[in-house]
């Protein structure tokens, strides 16, 4: 396990195999390729099967045109967050939104159906048994996202990329196309308030980053997954507060949210990694820097205690909801996640200076 201050300073050097071991290495690589192909086929078949669980309640796919950037999201009971979330990504240049509503009862579905650029699919089936929503979204991406740049995010995640203050996401994807790049990586930054979490009272339509605008500038652990070739990043306030006794159990912060989708692709685990695994090489292995972004994760608002209690009862999250168990336990004392190393978010240039994202050779 290596400790790094920034995301783009990490690369991996593999020693050349010894001559006597070359034959064994070749056999291992052939086995890996066959194994990965079978795994990808299995995920694609799962998505095909899970399509029966989705009921279209607002279908506006006829509006989509060639070159549109599409957003995909699975959610439940996020009515208060949606006005700002949709506004944020509309202004970024997202052309059409696909939402899978997993049994909301707070008006989420009704609000989404009223939006002219949104298609909504409803299901009350198990979130856990759909690979935490990945199967549902993968079917929609296969059906409607083929050939489009597709952004996959949660309702509390806000993408920041180089020049996002002056250039639309279409400018980014056009440059990625011209550079023959098919995937765009990011690190997820957990945002939090200065003071007790309960003090970050959220009102519908409000920018959550105005009340929870701090993040950890360092304290990240990075290692390379030699099987899927992706980076595995952990750390930040969740690792140091909610998983202090066992930081390796902290949630992963590596994300590949933006992909030029092909119906043959498949997400393996949330948006942490993909198949084919070449899509996971969103970092430079030779010591340079590839263009990358950040996902600002506005989870730690006053609403999190109610949300964690609800998700504990549902028990629909990864590893028997161990993450939400940690939240529920850690929130009992209404903690203050702010520390002397916390940074107040200003803009993407600040994140680049800190080494958390990079403009690479995009000028």
Q: What is the pLDDT of residues 151-173, one digit of tens each?
A: 999 999 999 999 999 999 999 99
Q: What pLDDT, on the 0 to 100 scale, is given for residue 9?
A: 45
Q: What pLDDT, on the 0 to 100 scale, is given for residue 307?
A: 77
Whether 326 contacts 186, CB under 8 Å: no
Chain position carrying tokens 């089936």: 125
Q: How many domains does the chain have?
A: 1
Domain containing residue 264: 17-353
Predicted TM-score (pTM) of this structure: 0.89
Q: Does 6 fall in a domain?
A: no
Q: Does 227 fall in a domain?
A: yes
Q: What is the pLDDT of residues 35-52, one digit of tens each?
A: 999 999 999 999 999 999
Query: Alpha-carbon distance 93 to 258, whole Å?
Result: 13
- Please give the mean pLDDT across all residues of the chain: 90
Q: What pLDDT, on the 0 to 100 scale, is given for residue 23?
A: 64
- CB burial readout 141-174, b (16+ within 10 A) else e: bbebbeebbbbbbbbbbbbbbbebeebebbebbe
Q: What pLDDT, on the 0 to 100 scale, is given for residue 12?
A: 37
Q: What pLDDT, on the 0 to 100 scale, is given for residue 328?
A: 60
User: Is the per-residue pLDDT at 95 higher than 60?
Assistant: yes
CA-to-CA separations, 19 to 15, 22, 24, 25, in angstroms, rounded: 12, 5, 10, 10
| Dihedral of the alpha carbons of 262, 268, 274, 276, in degrees to the nearest 10 | -70
User: Is the per-residue pLDDT at 240 higher than 50?
Assistant: yes
Please report which confidence band the pLDDT of residue 309 belongs to, taking 50, 70 and 90 as the band edges: confident
User: Is the per-residue pLDDT at 15 higher than 60?
Assistant: no
Q: Does 5 fall in a domain?
A: no
Displacement of CA 334 from its chain's centroid (Å): 26
Please report which confidence band the pLDDT of residue 130 belongs to, taking 50, 70 and 90 as the band edges: very high
Q: Does 89 fall in a domain?
A: yes
Q: Does 300 fall in a domain?
A: yes
Q: Which residues contact 284 (CB under 8 A, 6 or more apart)?
A: 8, 11, 290
Q: Does 284 fall in a domain?
A: yes
């Amino acid at each position: 396990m290596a400790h790094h201050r920034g995301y783009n300073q990490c690369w991996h050097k593999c020693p050349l195999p010894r001559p006597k071991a070359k034959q064994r290495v070749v056999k291992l690589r052939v086995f890996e390729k066959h194994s990965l192909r079978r795994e990808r086929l299995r995920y694609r078949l799962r998505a095909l099967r899970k399509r029966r669980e989705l009921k279209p309640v607002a279908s506006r796919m006829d509006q989509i045109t060639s070159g549109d950037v599409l957003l995909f999201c699975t959610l439940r009971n996020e009515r208060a967050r949606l006005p700002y979330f949709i506004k944020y990504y509309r202004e970024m240049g997202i052309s059409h939104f696909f939402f899978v509503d997993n049994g909301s009862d707070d008006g989420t579905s009704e609000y989404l159906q009223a939006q002219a650029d949104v298609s909504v699919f409803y299901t009350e089936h198990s979130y856990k048994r759909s690979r935490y929503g990945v199967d549902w979204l993968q079917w929609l991406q296969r059906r409607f996202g083929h050939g489009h740049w597709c952004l996959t995010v949660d309702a509390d995640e806000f993408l920041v990329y180089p020049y996002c203050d002056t250039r639309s996401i279409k400018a980014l994807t056009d440059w990625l196309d011209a550079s023959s790049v098919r995937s765009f990586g990011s690190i997820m930054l957990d945002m939090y308030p200065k003071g007790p979490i309960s003090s970050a009272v959220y009102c519908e339509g409000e920018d959550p980053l105005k009340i929870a605008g701090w993040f950890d500038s360092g304290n990240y652990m990075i290692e390379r997954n030699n099987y899927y070739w992706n980076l595995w990043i952990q750390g930040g306030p969740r690792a140091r507060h909610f998983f202090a006794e066992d930081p390796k159990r902290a949630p992963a912060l590596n994300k590949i949210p933006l992909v030029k989708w092909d119906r043959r692709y498949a997400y393996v685990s949330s948006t942490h990694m993909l198949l084919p695994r070449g899509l996971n090489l969103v970092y430079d292995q030779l010591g340079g820097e590839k263009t990358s972004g950040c996902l600002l994760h506005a989870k730690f608002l006053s609403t999190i205690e109610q949300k964690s209690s609800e998700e504990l009862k549902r028990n629909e999250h990864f590893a028997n909801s161990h993450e939400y168990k940690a939240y529920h336990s850690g929130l009992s004392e209404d903690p203050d996640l702010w520390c002397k190393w916390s940074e107040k978010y200003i803009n993407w240039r600040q994140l680049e200076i800190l080494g958390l994202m990079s403009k690479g050779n995009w000028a």
